[in-house]
Amino acid sequence: MPSGEWAQTLISSIVTRADGFLTWWGRELRAVLGPLSLGTRRDADVEVIGVGPGASYFQRVNAPAGLRATLSASEVVEMLRAEGEGRAVALRLSASDALQLQTEIPSRAFDHVREVLALEIETATPFAPEEVTFDFLAEADSGAGVRRVRQFIVKNEFLEKLGDLFRRSGIEVSRIEVEGALGINLLPAEFRRRRRTSLRAEHIAALAALIVLATGGFVGQGRAIHALEARKNALVNETAAVRAAASEANAAAANITRLQGQYSSNPSALSAMASLTQALDDSVWLTELTVASGTVSISGRAASASKALAAIEASPAFEAAEFTSTVFTDQATNTETFAARMKVQPPASSPPAAESSR
């Protein structure tokens, strides 16, 4: 038999044996690790708990016969304990507990939407990105090359208090959504990673299987040639992957730089949002803020809506402030819910510099 055919036959035999070994090993691993998998639960197994404003009360959303009983924190924990272990809980926050922002993002930059929205948090809110958790809903491109994005932001401090309430009682929280935006998940990333435990275990076990196979000892000239060719191909693929990653990173940096330029070219809108934060005191909580065509629209809660509007009118950054709907009083929280709009006051132009006499 010619040496080339002999080498090809040996390589084919090695590949066949390796494939059979890996198939058997994977089957054994799944048999052992299967019970550890935390897979996605069906909606029917998830107890949805509505959270009142500021976690002041809880409601059992999918209770039998549509019952929505109002419960305290201790009552909802006792209810879940009584139903037994193994059920996941989804928390549905009140819309007033999430800051909502609307923005438009070019469709070409949408692959980096989370980086863009993190930048939006830094420029449009008084929070740093690491202080909050956010998610978003995006509309399809209307044909203008942009996509409208609705962003939901909640402070980590509030989410941690809710999570601790259930974790201390051994109850798993599978997701955190917001009323009116059920497609999002505000569960902090550190509590999602443990759901991938079984996947990591399978990867480690597969790596161990490859090590066992590599050290099993198929010795020969044909295998050595095959290993060298495989290594060469792997290096070629790795080089291509590095080049592709560098190209994507450069494109992302260019997109972020362009978006930063767009923000810096509209200083009046950004200065208006900063002035709004300075004008309102801690008794005011804004739930929605929209800036469009020089007009700022807000909605939220305050101890006194009229005082909040007066503070906005007193700010040199705004003019023509007015309520856009009836002010409602919440007797339970002793706060007023309001919506208002105002014009952005254009910055005063600097007088031209005097020419020096000659």
Determine whether 262 is exposed, middle or buried from the number of CB atoms within 10 Å of its CB (0-12, 13-18, 19+). Answer: exposed
Question: CA-CA distance, 134 to 120, in Å (whole number)?
Answer: 11
pLDDT at 253 over 80: yes
Q: Among 96, 44, 89, which residue's Cα sits nearest to residue 71?
A: 89
Determine whether 106 is exposed, middle or buried from the number of CB atoms within 10 Å of its CB (0-12, 13-18, 19+). Answer: middle
Q: Which of 265, 288, 319 is the last residue of a domain?
A: 265
Highest mean pLDDT (candidates 49-58, 61-70, 256-265)? 49-58
Structure tokens at 63: 């209770």
Residue 306: pLDDT band with limits 50, 70, 90: very high
- Count of the separate structural domains present in the chain: 2
Do β-strands 132-138 and 58-60 pair in parallel, antiparallel, or remain unpaired? unpaired
- The answer to whether residue 2 sits within a structural domain is no
Are residue 242 and residue 289 in the same domain, yes or no?
A: no
Lowest mean pLDDT among 23-37, 166-180, 298-312: 23-37
Ranges of H-type helices in 63-112: 73-82
Residue 270: pLDDT band with limits 50, 70, 90: low
What average pLDDT does this structure show over 41-57? 74
Contact between 319 and 342 under an 8 Å Cβ cutoff? The reply is yes
- The answer to whether residue 55 sits within a structural domain is no
Q: Domain with 331 in it: what CATH number?
A: 3.30.70.2830
Beta bridge partners of 299: 288, 339
What average pLDDT does this structure show over 282-305? 87
Residue 38: pLDDT band with limits 50, 70, 90: very low
- The answer to whether residue 272 sits within a structural domain is yes
- The answer to whether residue 17 sits within a structural domain is no
pLDDT for position 39: 35
Q: Among 51, 34, 132, 135, which residue's Cα sits nearest to residue 89?
A: 51
Enumerate long-range contacts of 27-31, CB under 8 Å, 24 or more apart.
29/202, 29/205, 29/206, 29/209, 30/202
pLDDT for position 24: 62
